[in-house]
Amino acid sequence: MNTAIEEVYSSLKEQFRGDLLRPGEDEYADARPIWNGMVARTPRLIARCAEVSDVQTAVRVAAASGVLTAVRCGGHSLAGFGTCDGGMVVDLSRMRQVTVDREAARGWFAGGCLLGSVDVATQKEGLAFPAGVVSHTGASGLILGGGFGWLTRRHGLSCDNVEGFTLVTADGSIAHADRKENADLFWALRGGGGNFGIVTEFEVKLHPVTSVLFGEGLCLRDDIPRVLRRWREFMPEAPDNLKWNLSLRLAPYTENVPADVHGSPVVSESVVWIGDPEEGRRYLDYVLSFCTPVAVTKKVMSFLALQTMADDEFPHGRRYYTKSGYFMSLDDSSIDQMVQALTTVPSPMSQIELAYLGGAAARVGAAETAFGDRSSPFVVNLLGNWSDASDDAGNVSWIRNLFKVLRPSMTPGVYVNFMSGDEEDRVAEAYRERWERLVAVKSHYDPTNFFRLNQNIPAHKAVGKSDHD
Ligand SMILES: Cc1cc2nc3c(=O)[nH]c(=O)nc-3n(C[C@H](O)[C@H](O)[C@H](O)COP(=O)(O)OP(=O)(O)OC[C@H]3O[C@@H](n4cnc5c(N)ncnc54)[C@H](O)[C@@H]3O)c2cc1C
């Protein structure tokens, strides 16, 4: 162990209430890996905090010694920012308390919560927080980058539903940010990622949602481009209650899919209606009539079932690589390129994911939060997902090649939470006209760029010190 980290360990040992895990010690092996198996790093110390004072101590001691520090909530950063080689990880996984006030439709949750922790607690009170679609994702990373999922068109981005943040800043002190107090920081935390401190508590608005109408189906062959075109034309006029996602992929080998379709290129449609199911059924039937789908499901399901439905598709430890972007409008040639690329996809688990935002998320002004882009409603995420390290090169180059072909038709910009670890050069592109204001807030709260393992916004004084490892 090198001297600086040894010093950090010795100082923390005196005062830390949580767990201090070092290589070779009990629990370290389980605590080391993050979700993306492509990012296998070895921190020299994992400081698993039990309470807010642990977070403060860890930050103060690490900042004083200059030890590289990663912050981890759910460890789902696609880029792998929840870990590092050689330094320390501040791990928040023991801090998962959630409190709900049903009458006020408000929730408070700690900085280590997974989406599932939040959903389970809020659903007990008949309320829901708008967030992502996989329950083992960390709530902190998702919200700080923006956060979208099934409720976004109806109730806005996750960050739009935050009323206040409590955080530990780079000097180890506690700050609160809301519309009145530290308003610039409040603005920056809604989209600006983990650049400004470690959030220990979120105060959020909740919404009365306990069940949804859900439909899905797979369309094949000539129906694939037809559905994409109908989707492109229909969504701008769709009611906010409707979320209709598409995924180009190879048909899964599951029981509900006819055997002769297994492994064939398909567009998989998932449709969610939030609100009156009778009204929703008309929309669901209409949308699913744009092709002749197989493996069709239409049912009312609980919100918790919806939120955990995709959990098994994205297990911990597999190899993942992404490239993402926005389209203002989806042209025919981009549709054809995506459909064509499907014929050469190297892994049956990889997908070209398409979502349409708009709705409540688009009605928040561009300057109201730091979130990257609300003007381009079409989001594409090229998500490589495979098991074997020997297949890395083929899978990564498939994603990169498709992205290169699509890029000229995209609007500049990218959702920070869908970025890979090799896209540092796109961070300023992600924030565009919000960049200078973000740099100013960063310079105030973290002038030495202590929090730099993220989609990094360097402070004025620390330009050039944005190393990621
Ligand atoms: C399977 C899967 C499904 C996903 N689905 C969606 C989705 O539906 N919608 C969506 O919008 N995104 C989705 N994402 C992307 C997701 O938003 C990001 O991967 C996000 O970074 C995950 O947050 P985390 O806390 O798990 O990550 P971590 O790896 O723990 O952290 C990510 C970043 O956030 C910072 N951070 C973490 N906790 C804190 C904290 N308490 N305070 C300050 N900074 C912190 C870290 O320093 C790091 O830079 C998904 C990702 C995966 C892997």
How much distance in Å is there from the Cα of 331 to the middle of ligand 1? 30
Q: Residue 373: which pLDDT band, with cuts at 50, 70 and 90?
A: confident
Q: What pLDDT shows up at residue 374?
A: 92
The span from the CA of 320 to the CA of 395, in Å, is 9
The span from the CA of 379 to the CA of 355, in Å, is 5
Residue 463 has pLDDT above 90, yes or no: no
463 secondary structure, DSSP code? T
Which has the closest alpha carbon to 319: 420, 456, 417?
A: 420
Q: Which ligand 1 atom is the nearest neighbour of the CA of 455?
A: 49
Residues 435 and 366 sit within 8 Å (Cβ to Cβ): no
> Sheet harboring 211-220: ordered strands across?
294-302, 211-220, 265-273, 242-250, 351-356, 378-386, 319-327
pLDDT digits (tens, 9 = 90+) for 123-140: 999 999 999 999 999 999
Handedness of CA 329, 330, 332, 337 (dihedral sign): positive
Q: Which ligand 1 atom is the nearest neighbour of the CA of 148?
A: 11
Residue 469 has pLDDT above 80, yes or no: no
Residue 293 has pLDDT above 80, yes or no: yes
Q: Which ligand 1 atom is the nearest neighbour of the CA of 35?
A: 53
- Token code pair at residue 453: 């393992």
Q: Which residues line ligand 1 (CB under 6 A)?
A: 35, 71-78, 81-82, 92, 111, 132-134, 137-138, 140-142, 144-145, 147-149, 193-194, 198-199, 314, 417, 453-454
How far apart, in Å, are the Cα atoms of 200 and each of 78, 145, 326? 22, 16, 31
Provide the β-strand partners of residue 202.
109, 165
Residues 116 and 136 sit within 8 Å (Cβ to Cβ): yes
Residues 127 and 100 sit within 8 Å (Cβ to Cβ): yes
Q: Parallel, antiparallel, or unpaired for β 88-91 and 69-72?
A: parallel
Token match 């967030």: residue? Answer: 131
Token match 């190297």: residue? Answer: 346
pLDDT digits (tens, 9 = 90+) for 231-260: 999 999 999 999 999 999 999 999 999 999
Residue 189 has pLDDT above 50, yes or no: yes
pLDDT digits (tens, 9 = 90+) for 399-448: 999 999 999 999 999 999 999 999 999 999 999 999 999 999 999 999 99
Q: Which ligand 1 atom is the nearest neighbour of the CA of 158?
A: 11
467 secondary structure, DSSP code? -
- Could you give the angle at which helices 52-65 and 3-15 cross, rounded to 10 degrees? 150
Q: Name the closest-CA residue to atom 51, ligand 1.
A: 76
The span from the CA of 263 to the CA of 251, in Å, is 5
pLDDT digits (tens, 9 = 90+) for 310-331: 999 999 999 999 999 999 999 9
Q: What pLDDT shows up at residue 468?
A: 44
251 secondary structure, DSSP code? P
How much distance in Å is there from the Cα of 139 to the middle of ligand 1? 7
The alpha-carbon radius of gyration of the chain (Å, integer) is 22
Q: Which amino acid is at 306?
A: L
Mean per-residue pLDDT over the chain, rounded = 96
How much distance in Å is there from the Cα of 405 to the middle of ligand 1? 27
Mutate-to-test residue for ligand 1 from 52, 56, 77, highest number of ligand atoms within 8 A of CB: 77
Q: What pLDDT shows up at residue 461?
A: 61
How much distance in Å is there from the Cα of 416 to the middle of ligand 1? 10
Token match 């001297």: residue? Answer: 3
Q: Which amino acid is at 345?
A: V
